[in-house]
Amino acid sequence: MLFRMVKLRLLNMIAPAYFYTATVVTFALHFLLFMPTVFRSPDVERNPTMLVHIAVFLFLMGNALGNYTMTICYPSENANETVIPVCSPDCPDRIDAHYLLNGRHFCKVCKKVILKRDHHCFFTGNCIGNRNMRYFIMFSIYTSCCCLYSLVIGVAYLTIEYSISFENPLTFLTLLPLSTGYFFLGLISGLQFFLVIMLYVWLGIGLVSAGFCCQQLLLVARGQTWCELQKGWLSEVRGTWRANLTDVFGSRWALGLFLPVQTVETVPGNWQVYHDHKHD
Ligand SMILES: [Zn+2]
């Protein structure tokens, strides 16, 4: 039990470090390698296509990082309770959380009773709950876009710089094993090998984020949380999907699609209303 907790704590520190490293590497590759090579033009210093791509990349990155920051700056509310939480009779005693009475949850990593808890996000080192769910979903969407965009530009770069053809659909399957072999045989440079690995990292994060975001949106539209899904409370749909989405995304939701700004009005004590009409 103690060992499992230490593992969670370590993950809580490693995951954000991994996120920061991947962001810095992606930035460096885009501006030092990809943009100058892929959009090189012989006569003009900076061609318009390159400026458009820089703008798109900065927009996606800005929203991903902005929503990441918002998720941390507006943490989910926690109940100021000094009593030791009492578990509900059907508490599964999961590795990361205790399920309490009244449909509330105690996060073992945050060591707090989190209101409307969804799950503990290790990349942000925070619980996702009533106040930051919207930022978390937007963070997933933009991270996914950023990664898939980087993948496309990365493929373009490898095609131009190293004449690797991606026309055959099998190229992506054989690229990693072949590159690993070539690298250890000394046939390709460390940089080229690193770029191939980054393509797979972007593909992986891009697909996982997109899948995660779709699942969260479905849950939000049904007025449910991941915690409740774990308990098998999926049978009933609460309220209309419109009301559920407004509940999470706030009234200024349209602005939040394009800018990482505060769009969720949180009235203190509002969660009590949520529990009153949704859990009793
Ligand atoms: Zn937590």
CA pseudo-torsion sign 228, 215, 74, 26: positive
Domain ranges of the chain: 2-76+131-274
As given in the structure block, the two tokens for residue 46 are 């900076």
Average of pLDDT values for 39-46? 70
CA 259 to ligand 1 centroid distance, Å:
26
Q: Give tens-digit pLDDT for 254-266.
A: 888 888 887 766 5
The secondary element (H helix, E strand) that includes residue 55 is: helix 48-73
| pLDDT of the residue at 82 | 55
Choose between 85 and 187: higher pLDDT: 187
User: Is there a catalytic annotation at residue 73?
Assistant: no
| pLDDT of the residue at 65 | 95
Q: What is the pTM of this model?
A: 0.85
pLDDT reading at 44 higher than 70: no
CA 149 to ligand 1 centroid distance, Å:
31
CA 137 to ligand 1 centroid distance, Å:
17
Q: What one-character DSSP code corresponds to residue 76?
A: P
CA 195 to ligand 1 centroid distance, Å:
34
Residues 6+ apart with CB under 8 A from 151: 199, 202, 203, 206
Q: Among residues 222, 193, 209, 203, which one has the least CA distance to residue 150? A: 203
Q: Give tens-digit pLDDT for 130-168.
A: 788 889 999 999 999 999 999 999 999 999 988 888 888
**From 107, 110, 121, 213, the catalytic residue:** 121
d(CA 213, CA 207): 10
Count Cα atoms within 13 angstroms, Cβ side, for 111. Answer: 3
